[in-house]
Amino acid sequence: MMLMNQITNKKAENVRDVIRYLQKFKNALIVIYLDDKTIGSPLFSSHIRDIALLHKAGLKVVIIPGARARIDEVLSSAKLNWTYKDNIRITDDKAMPFIKMAAFDVSNTVMTNLAANNITAVIGNWVRARAKGVLDGFDFGAAGEIDRLDTASLDTVLNDGFIPIFPCIGWSSVGKPYNISSAVLAQQVAVELKADKLFFVMGEQKPILKDGEIVPAMNIEEVDSYVANHTDDEQTKNLLGLCKNACQNGVNRSHILDGNLDGVLLTEIFSDLGSGTMIYTNDYGNIRAIQQNDIPSVLAVMRPFVASGKLLPRTEGDVKARLADFYVYDFDGGVRACASLHKYDDGQFEIAAVAVDEAYSHMGIGPKLLESLVQKAKSCGAKSVFIMTTQASDWFEKIGFAEDKIESIPEERRAKWSPERGSKVYRLK
């Protein structure tokens, strides 16, 4: 019965997350880059179905498809050569009709698949471009740079309920076409349209790891350090740079996703941790004082710890009675950790009721929450800070607590201590 309750509680929490995010992102604008490997994969139709579901759920969607593989194929058939410099395709003007044909062919593939899901999409020439020209003596040929976007026309298309699709082609003021980077185009479209989210769905992308764990979220201030110290993969570096730049220029969040995972877009949008790596600027996770409507969530976070004997049982009334002492770690409106800070007359402070949702335990939010409460205690003139634990001594020692005698705690707290439970005292060194 206990296992069944845990499964039901988890399912209910997942459903609550979906509803919370549906409310949060209704009418939000998202820009999705699908690389050529994703478009050519067996999961492509599944990704398109998920994009259709997002559109039907009320999100505004813009798609930028990558066409590198298709362009390679068409140029090879035409026996035209090309090279790359700085990840930019270098050709002469003779290749542009073939590049344009390939780019629109891929965009048409996306549009046709959306139509199969009863979604109307529009392929348009909304990109004004200019020649990249000659830089440091190197001629970039038919490669172009984005000059500006026709955002007024795009707004009309979006407000009429259509999905705009961008081929990787831009036109000059006199109608000359240029080949532009789809990934860069996705980033600039997201910035110009003030998108809420930018997604890079990659068919071949190394996982973004730190200490052997996938990094679910990264603040833009952490990006440069990560690139310098944790990856030598050029694609990862380029994508992180595009994500950082987008966030610095008004996009709330940018995401790098593995296109080989079915449902990756849905799980990234409608859950706190998602399935990829998110780059963000705002307070994705923050510590705050508890509110009364947080109590059910706090009790849910505590429940597994109560069941295992790590925490004493607490009722809604218990939490209400000491509401001013409780703090939570909030992820996008969802409570994922909690703790309380109690002050005693002799100047000692106790941190109690520490619980972290198991799914989030690898993100270091427990230590962050404790550090915040320690700083709060110090600012209130605390003589010392202690905790009581039965099973988490190693964890507390790791973050700077050391065992102390039971006689060292305030008399008021000692009166509540029971030899049967045998909680140990750990004090901050």
Cα dist. 93→71, 80, 142, 233 in Å? 14, 11, 5, 32
**Average confidence (pLDDT) over 394-416:** 93
pLDDT digit string, tens, across residues 126-164: 999 999 999 999 999 999 999 999 999 999 999 999 999
Q: Give the span between the Cα atoms of 77 and 71, in whole angstroms.
A: 10
Q: Are 364 and 356 in contact (CB under 8 A)?
A: no
Q: Give the span between the Cα atoms of 181 and 384, in whole angstroms.
A: 58
pLDDT digit string, tens, across residues 198-211: 999 999 998 899 88
pLDDT score, position 153: 95
Higher pLDDT, 7 or 34: 34
pLDDT score, position 358: 83
pLDDT score, position 11: 66
pLDDT confidence of 362, banded at 50, 70, 90? low
Q: Are 355 and 337 in contact (CB under 8 A)?
A: yes
Q: Give the span between the Cα atoms of 58 and 67, in whole angstroms.
A: 28
* Short-list 169, 179, 172, CA closest to 83: 179
pLDDT confidence of 6, banded at 50, 70, 90? low
**Average confidence (pLDDT) over 88-110:** 97
pLDDT score, position 213: 83
pLDDT score, position 24: 66
Give 182-246 as a DSSP string.
Answer: HHHHHHHHHHHTT-SEEEEEESS----EETTEE--EEEHHHHHHHHHHH---HHHHHHHHHHHHH
pLDDT score, position 3: 55
Please give the model's pTM, rounded to 2 decimal places: 0.78
**Average confidence (pLDDT) over 274-283:** 81
Q: Are 152 and 164 in contact (CB under 8 A)?
A: no
pLDDT at 283 over 70: no
Q: Give the span between the Cα atoms of 379 and 140, in whole angstroms.
A: 59
- Lowest mean pLDDT segment, chosen from 25-29, 55-59, 321-325, 421-425: 25-29
Q: Both tokens of residue 48?
A: 């398109």
Q: Are 252 and 280 in contact (CB under 8 A)?
A: yes
Cα dist. 417→401, 410, 411, 422 in Å? 19, 11, 10, 8
**Average confidence (pLDDT) over 326-337:** 89
Q: Determine the 3-state secondary structure of 87 from DSSP.
A: coil
Cα dist. 229→118, 181, 415 in Å? 46, 27, 51
Q: Are 277 and 214 in contact (CB under 8 A)?
A: yes
pLDDT score, position 83: 95
Q: Are 341 and 373 in contact (CB under 8 A)?
A: yes
Burial of 315 (0-12, 13-18, 19+ CB in 10 A): exposed
pLDDT confidence of 315, banded at 50, 70, 90? very high
Q: Give the span between the Cα atoms of 384 and 244, in whole angstroms.
A: 41
**Average confidence (pLDDT) over 386-395:** 92
**DSSP β-ladder status, 121-123 and 88-90:** unpaired
**Average confidence (pLDDT) over 167-184:** 96
**Average confidence (pLDDT) over 178-199:** 96
Residues forming beta bridges with residue 209, ordered by sequence position: 214
pLDDT score, position 270: 81
**Average confidence (pLDDT) over 385-406:** 93
pLDDT score, position 12: 66
Q: Give the span between the Cα atoms of 335 and 333, in whole angstroms.
A: 7
pLDDT digit string, tens, across residues 227-253: 999 999 999 999 999 999 999 999 989
pLDDT score, position 191: 97
Higher pLDDT, 385 or 23: 385
Q: Give the span between the Cα atoms of 4 and 357, in whole angstroms.
A: 18
Higher pLDDT, 372 or 1: 372
Contact partners, residue 367, CB within 8 Å, separation at least 6: 399
**Mean per-residue pLDDT over the chain, rounded:** 91
Q: Determine the 3-state secondary structure of 292 from DSSP.
A: helix
Q: Both tokens of residue 429?
A: 């060194």
